Amino acid sequence: MKFSLFYFDGDGSSTQTDKYRLLMESAQFADRHGFTALWTPERHFHTFGGLYPNPAITSAALAMITQRVRLRAGSVVVPLHDPIRIAEEWAMVDNLSHGRAEIAFASGWTVADFVLSRERHTNRKAVMWRDIDTIQRLWRGESIERQDSAGKTFTIQTLPKPIQPELPIWITCQSNETFIEAGKLGANVLASLLGSTLDSLAPKIRLYREARQRQGHDPKTGTVAMMTHTFLGADLATVKAQIKQPFCEYLKNHYDLLENLAKGMGLNVSLKNFSEDDIDSLLEFGVEGFMNGRSLIGTPESCQEFVEQAREAGVDEIACLIDFVQNSDSVMAGLPYLKQLMQRCQERMVSHV
């Protein structure tokens, strides 16, 4: 099992001057201690994730302070951008990092984000598959034709030339269909447990492997990474006490997660109709549910079983989402325990070989 760090929260509305302190310090920790990658997202128009509107810029900054760890977009929302610009920007990241750039592609979620796009929200998946192909061709040095506003045709070849001859790509997957399409493409997969469980994720991973095989790709290759909320410490009771309030605040800022929790309780309702007391009751129940079976929240010892369950479900890498806790010192203090978990899991795998 590989371990990487994932960033998704990050309140961009504050006026503090060290907004990216946790990102920078934890990135250097990951680079020193054998973590596989750093994932930074693309988020727009919301305090939740507002630190991260452009993963290419974030990864370019991380390239300057790291040496080994892979730099991944998690994700680039393809329909919001011209594929030429995606190819150009990430070729720069590849050069700045000496060949460590990777991209997870997504079709987009929020309708409001599409004020940045000339494409319709309803067409977003078709646009994503079309433009991924264009980006891959440009990355390889191929030319494409484009017309300017007057209808004149130009032949375009992007620069700078990237270090890696092929761009390592991922697809952000939730539905069965997307898992299958990712397998056909031969791409890696970025998944999560935000709206599901390991039991529901495992069949999708099998569909992915089967699709790889049918398309002529080695079904054993291709990495499935799973974004997982992560906070570890020395004592389970202390960790739960530390995490409860930050996690409640985190979920309050992400109504999609809260509604998923409600559905998990058998409540097919809109949270717009909930009172504050109702939401607080839901949070009390939901946080405990997230800690048990959907996250790495606990100690290295208590979390090892979840890692083994993830491996059995077909997960190859756990992308540890660490910034849902808004206290940088607490998060950094927990990273050595995450390193311990990673080492325990690796030692266990070696002993079973």
DSSP string for residues in 261-304: HHHHTT----GGG--HHHHHHHHHHHHHHHHTTSEEEE-HHHHH
Query: Which of 41, 45, 127 has the alpha carbon at shortest distance from 78?
Result: 127
When the candidates are 3.20.20.30, 3.40.50.300, 3.40.50.1220, 3.40.50.2000, the CATH number that belongs to 2-233+296-352 is 3.20.20.30
pLDDT digit string, tens, across residues 133-191: 999 999 999 999 999 999 999 999 999 999 999 999 999 999 999 999 999 999 999 99
Let me know if 133 is exposed, middle or buried by CB neighbors in 10 A (0-12, 13-18, 19+).
exposed
Specify the pLDDT at position 67.
98
Residues whose CB is less than 8 angstroms from the CB of residue 165 and which lie 6 or more positions away in sequence, other chains included: 140
From CA 249, how far away is CA 263, in angstroms rounded? 19
Residues whose CB is less than 8 angstroms from the CB of residue 322 and which lie 6 or more positions away in sequence, other chains included: 5, 6, 7, 22, 26, 230, 231, 331, 334, 335
pLDDT digit string, tens, across residues 272-322: 666 667 666 666 666 676 777 788 999 999 999 999 999 999 999 999 999
pLDDT digit string, tens, across residues 184-242: 999 999 999 876 789 999 999 999 999 999 999 999 899 999 999 999 999 998 998 88
Query: Which of 174, 5, 138 has the alpha carbon at shortest distance from 74?
Result: 5
| Cβ atoms of 205 and 171 closer than 8 Å | no
| Cβ atoms of 163 and 181 closer than 8 Å | no
